Amino acid sequence: MEEWVGYKWHEYITRQALGEFPEHAVYLKDEARSLGIVFRAFGGDPALSLVTAEPRHFRLRRRFLHKLAGTHRKCELAWRDEQNLRLPEKVARFPSKQLNRDLYIWLAALAATPAPADSDWFTGNQALVQDVLLRWPGLENVYQRLVKHVLYWRPDPDSLTDPEAVREQAICQALIHPGSVPTLPPADTDPWPVILWLYPALEQGKANGQVTGDEDTHSSPGGHTKKNKRKQAERVEAFDRDQGLMIFRLESLFSWTEFIPVDRAGDDTDEEDAEAVADDMDMISVSNDRKETSSAIKFDLDLPSEEHDDLHLGPGIHLPEWDWRSQSYRERFCCLQPLLAKDAVPAELPEALRRPAKLLQRQFSALKPLKQWQKRQLDGDELDLDACLEREVQHRRGQGTTDQKLFRRCQQSQRDLACLVLADVSLSTETYINNHQRVIDVARDGLQLLSEALQASRDPFALFAFSSRRRDHVRFHHLKSFDEPYTSTIRGRIQALEPGFYTRMGTAIRQATKLLEMRHEHQKILLLLTDGKPNDLDVYEGRYGVEDTRMAVQEAQKAGLTPFCVTIDDEASEYLPYVFGSSNFVVIRDPAQLPLQLPKLYLNLTQ
């Protein structure tokens, strides 16, 4: 009973101190899709992702109610960096859902506008507001409504010290008439947060060494997406099990139960809700040899020794890479190594795939070239008996026609296209999608069924797979070239595929583009199979990898190719429309259906 009363009291005091309207709350997760469209419609960078902003610490002059509830020490505010636009996870400041939603739209418009050069936070935001209202006059009413409510809950200058009161009046004046206040008056405390403005990007943290984990969004096996929030970090000394506080004299020791380990190790107890605890922490301490109950570990991999590796086909191919930060190519920056499976043995189609393969062969055989006779030609392969008979009948009737089109010619109906299939065999394909299959297993089955179908249609096709370990070792597995027939040897190479390293996607796409450019067919399809975003151990993370892949896709399109991506990544809709375009990719929600869906997708692309 006491706990329940305490909880209700805390809930009441917190609600009164925050001054929010929880019944009118609007959440970023519900508005993210429409906000992304609005942000890009305003001219925002399409490569930026919408993620939740982590709370910032402020040194505010808090009221007694704020101190009692323990609120207003941190606040979620909007800001952007080179990779993300970060917005508050929830907006409940205004007494209507529409106003709270308008705040998201206003912040998206503000973030889509280029920031003025050589300006501080105060004058820069005023210039941004002026620019947005000049470019989009329809937002004037929205902005004025938001300002009216923001001014209502901002602190009263009469309750502040003189410097703070002058500063608060300057901020209010800047909100009402943007650009009218040239400088922000100084004060000892931080200014009360301005939720209508953008704030500078937060610092990366205090850790001096490599910290386990990364900033990107991860999905747990259950499908729950963690919040993409950054934390401050610090290095601490590792826990020493020989140290502890003993609150008694050693000569009075009677039992071991009187020892209390104040500095508790991470493996003493299992944390049932570690994610929630970490989300509440302001500072995360990292030690080098401390055990963790559970974590997502990012580690380096060693390459296999030369004698156990696949056969290297040549010394390697040097290819450029796009650096979006400098807006230029890094010439001969990546080394692509063609490989051929060393231990692959010829194999037959697995028993489980034979029935669907026969159905696909029957369906695709209707696409193979057929002989078509063109009748009544001036010349050709042989006489057209119908034309000759008709002429003889007319001649005997005395009609005297002299029709010379007495031949027929045989012509092949040809599908003028070629397809190159590029499969991602990075380490993530080791993941199990059910109790029996991994991603690499369904990828192999998909490649084999598609090959059986294309063999029946007689469309020229090639198969390659790729993975990478930094820029100087991009592995390009040779499965089948355009000139090779599809035999048991090719099946053996496909079945020998195993998960490799990382996903330097742009380099593999550039090599596939070069191979397809040498074909003479009119339609050239580059079909990419993957299970995640571009990534590697070096700088090829986040936006760098996405931008390089996008540039490689554009290069393929300029060369007359049709790049198309097939993925099983649930988060693909966040980056694939930017990389491949809105209609040049598909997400397979059930990875187990990939082998059967792949030939159908090929039919839709080529018919």
Q: Write out 143-172 in H/E/C secondary structure.
A: HHHHHHHHHHHCCCHHHCCHHHHHHHHHHH
Strands 283-286 and 311-312: unpaired
Query: In this structure, what token pair is assigned to residue 607?
Result: 């018919």
Q: How many CA atoms lie within 13 A of 230 on its CB side?
A: 20
Residue 498: the pLDDT is 92
Q: How far is CA 582 from CA 396, 512, 550, 606, in A?
A: 67, 22, 13, 18
Which H, E and C letters describe 477-490, residue by residue?
Answer: EEEECCCCCCCHHH
Residue 428: the pLDDT is 92
Strands 523-530 and 561-567: parallel
Q: Who's near 218: CB < 8 A, 6+ residues apart?
A: 225, 226, 296
**Cα–Cα dist 73/67, whole Å:** 9
DSSP label of 520: -
Run of H or E including 447 = helix 439-457
Q: How far is CA 67 from CA 158, 164, 165, 410, in A?
A: 20, 19, 20, 92
Nearest to 206, CA basis, from 237, 229, 232: 232
Chain position carrying tokens 């070629």: 418
The residue length of the chain stands at 607
Mean pLDDT in each 10-residue stretch from start to end of the chain (607 residues)?
Answer: 77 75 89 88 86 84 74 84 88 91 93 85 92 93 93 86 91 93 90 91 45 32 41 57 55 49 46 55 57 49 58 89 92 94 90 93 77 74 82 76 74 77 94 92 95 91 95 94 94 93 95 94 93 90 92 95 93 88 91 92 86
Write b or e for each residue in 249-270: b if 16 or more Cβ atoms lie within 10 A of its Cβ, otherwise e: eeeeeeeeeeeeeeeeeeeeee
Nearest to 508, CA basis, from 523, 524, 528: 528
Residue 166: the pLDDT is 93
Query: Could you read off the pLDDT of 155-180 as tens digits, one per residue?
Result: 888 888 899 999 999 999 999 999 99
